[in-house]
Structure 1
Amino acid sequence: MPSKHPLVLQFNSQRLSSKICQVTRRRGFVYGCLPCKFAVHIESVSASLDFVVEDKSHEHPFTLFTRRSSFICDACGVEGSYASYICCTSKIMVHKKCTSLPRIIKSKWHDHRLFHKYFLFRVLNCIMCNDEVSTDYGSYYCSECDVIFHVKCAMKNKDSYEIAENEDKESADVSSITNVLEWNDAGKATVIEHICRN
């Protein structure tokens, strides 16, 4: 049975990373529990208390999952711990920062827009790092060229991408947890695959 400890305002002498934002800072105060090596930045506490987060890039709200546990983020494929947000409808679990990933980006490393997908059915290698991208987790994908980026590779440098607003090639009502297989001449999705995680 997990034990419960109070979080105490203290100086972050061990340079613990915040379990909410995953950032390690050199100096400053945190709410922490030294026996558990658990720390939360003061400014993250108020932001993390958003029990329900809604974002335009996902059609359902994300709810704070308060149980401490490690998980692999469905949006980016990177391990997370403690604070996670879940979408009960889509059955996905994500980092707080991944609740607001841009749905479409334009990368300086590729000519076309890249769409965030939670799951794909094809195994491909990331064109940035050349490592295989898991089909079980989120990525940025170009269906025109059949190329893929890990989320962490696509978003690594803020100067290497910009957020795109125009969705003319992919209808706004097509979920980001689907994969469009065929388009008609008018640019509408005619055949899609949908993943149902039971």
Structure 2
Amino acid sequence: MALLLRTLWSLPFRAAPRRAVRGRPVSGVLGAGAGRRDAGSLTKNEPSLAKSEWRKKLTPEQFHVTREKGTEPPFSGIYLNNKEPGMYHCVCCDSPLFSSKKKYSSGTGWPSFSEAHGTSGSDESNTGILRRVDTSMGSVRTEIVCKQCEAHLGHVFPDGPGPAGQRFCINSVALKFKPGKP
């Protein structure tokens, strides 16, 4: 367990930006980039939809997973065994997230990817994802959210294939697959 925690803490982490609420300024943001837009910021200046609008746009399962940080049952997702070439996009905002070229069968019950689309070495600044610390469920994990709309996608674990050794464990219901050249 100690080895797992040390490994998780050594992974690069970028906190998602905090937003102003009802016109009040953002406070308590940590880090050198606080207060200015940088590669870790949302990619568009669009306000997030209200909870009622997300409920209208998404199915109940999509809403539960992406907006309430739920998870789909293992081995139930439509993209678990998908082997078509193409790109996996966010079901909420259509941001490109993962290429089929980096998808692999991990045997865990969820679609798994070795890296996010746009990754260059260990640099994820050009990807559509952000990492966040998740301490729910009585353990420390790294949550993956969409950089564009902050939808919960899944988690990343340090037990994937080399060279980075990452396993992005992503809920099918949080994705929209577009066949074609990945």
Instruction: Please tell me whether Structure 1 or Structure 2 has the larger radius of gyration of its CA atoms.
Output: 1
Greater strand fraction, Structure 1 or Structure 2: 1
Settle same-fold status: TM greater than 0.5. no
State the TM bucket, normalised to the shorter chain: under 0.3
Larger relative contact order (CA 8 Å, sep ≥ 6): 2
